Amino acid sequence: MYRNKTEIFNRINSQKGQIAILIDPEKIETDRQLSALISKAQAASIDYFFIGGSTVTRKDMEHVVSYLKENTKIPLVIFPGSSHQISPDADAILLLSLLSGRNPDYLIGHHILASHELHKSKLEILPTAYILIEGGTKSSVAYVSQTTPIPLEQEQIALQTAIAGVMQGKKVIYFDAGSGAKNTVPPALIEMTTHELPDYPVIVGGGIRTIDDIQNFKNSANVIVIGNHIEKNPEFLLDIALMKSKENFEF
């Protein structure tokens, strides 16, 4: 039965600059690929694995989550693209309401379809204000959800959307420029949001591909999500490990 668990929420809320690797199960061909990713992620002290994608099947989702569960202690958070992307082996699920769009399926429809299964599961539910910001490319999430992202320069609209979301009871805010975005979400938007809503953790993702990008968000976003770049270049995790070891040295 659904219980209001808070472990992963508290963890996300406890600190800025945490890092999540986004795994799209559709792009995973072998367990060996996952195993190599786990080793590098552990060496870089990655904080979370997010798992999901726009068009992932339940079978691929369940396989990747159960493999990760067996082979790492890094918390597993589902970042679902639709109502069937659920696996009981994960620790939590971002229950995304796509507030930048006006497609009822992504505001409440998928949630109703998933409600029975989520209610029976032990997953921690993280009600999330999910806000797409124009990232300079047509993202697959915008296409699949048939919604338009908030224009890059409309920071006030983005901020008002986040405020409306938390007033509706969302606990987490996720600004996403879309997978493979040319431009990341503007760092100033994350700063404004954490200033206006200091009690609510902010997740940022989309187009993050350099250490400088990470540095831009490390004092404002609670979680910085990296998908594409690590998928194409897992060695980037070594750069993250180096960045972290330099930070520890500075203390």
Interaction between residue 227 and ligand 1GP (CB under 6 A): yes
- Of 7, 1, 249, 247, residue with least CA distance to 124: 7
If we measure between CA atoms, which residue out of 14, 12, 6, 17 comes closest to residue 247?
17
Work out how close the CB of 61 gets to ligand 1GP at its nearest, in angstroms, rounded to a whole number.
Answer: 15
Selected range binding ligand 1GP among 35-43, 160-168, 219-227, 242-250, rule: CB under 6 A? 219-227
- 3-state class (DSSP) for residue 175: strand
Q: Is 225 in the site for ligand 1GP (CB under 6 A)?
A: yes
Local structure of 174: helix, strand or coil? strand
Q: Judged by CB, which is closer to ligand 1GP: 4, or 97?
A: 97
| Residue among 207, 216, 224, 236 that touches ligand 1GP (CB under 6 A) | 207
Helix crossing, 31-43 with 236-250: angle to 10°? 20
- Does 166 bind ligand 1GP (CB under 6 A)? Our answer is no
Closest to 207 measured CA to CA, from 131, 130, 137, 128: 137
180 binds ligand 1GP (CB under 6 A): yes
The only residue of 131, 142, 150, 181 in contact with ligand 1GP, by rule CB under 6 A? 181
Within the chain, how many helices (H) and strands (E) appear?
11, 8
Q: Which stretch binds ligand 1GP (CB under 6 A): 96-104, 144-152, 163-171, 199-207?
A: 199-207
Closest-by-Cβ residue to ligand 1GP is: 205
Task: Decide: is 34 part of the binding site for ligand 1GP (CB under 6 A).
Answer: no
CA pair distance 152, 214, nearest whole angstrom:
19
Which positions touch ligand 1GP (CB under 6 A)? Answer: 22, 176, 178-181, 205-208, 225-229
